[in-house]
């Protein structure tokens, strides 16, 4: 009897885990497709801008340079995001050090105050 209950519970957990993994994979797929769509949109805008401005006489060159600008723009965006998180990490570190320091100081002062005769 216990084996049957354990088997049912195991199957239920297994099904839930599979569903969660499938949902996560679907979300990840949507994120990747969205990023690719944004990248293609960026390359298209850069290509159009280059065709209209710099490469009016030879618009075929615009595609080559648009791809390079798109790749470098993407790498730059990733770099800026990493810099932002690095800065946020430093600020968080300062807040944590100050917070813990003030907490320890408050505990020490509270102990000293409670020990002193009034």
Please spell the DSSP secondary structure of 3-47, one letter per residue. HHHHHHHHHHHHHHHHHHHHHHHHHHHHHHHHHHHHHHHHHHHHH
> Average pLDDT, stretch 91-107?
93
Q: How confident is the model at residue 3 (pLDDT cuts 50, 70, 90)?
A: low
pLDDT digits (tens, 9 = 90+) for 8-35: 556 665 656 566 667 777 888 888 888 8
Mean pLDDT (the chain) is: 82
Q: In whole angstroms, give the CA distance from residue 56 to residue 46.
A: 14
Q: What is the pTM of this model?
A: 0.53
CB 47 within 8 A of CB 66: yes
């Amino acid at each position: 009897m216990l084996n049957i209950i354990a088997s049912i519970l195991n199957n239920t957990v297994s099904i839930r885990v599979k569903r969660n993994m499938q949902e996560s994979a679907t979300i990840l797929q949507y994120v990747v497709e969205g990023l690719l769509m944004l990248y293609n949109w960026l390359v298209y805008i850069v290509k159009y801008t280059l065709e209209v401005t710099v490469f009016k006489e030879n618009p075929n060159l615009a595609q080559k340079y648009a791809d390079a600008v798109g790749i470098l723009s993407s790498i730059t965006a990733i770099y800026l995001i990493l810099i932002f998180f690095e800065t946020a990490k430093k600020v968080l570190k300062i807040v944590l050090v100050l917070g813990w320091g003030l907490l320890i100081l408050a505990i020490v002062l509270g102990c000293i105050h409670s020990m002193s005769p009034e």
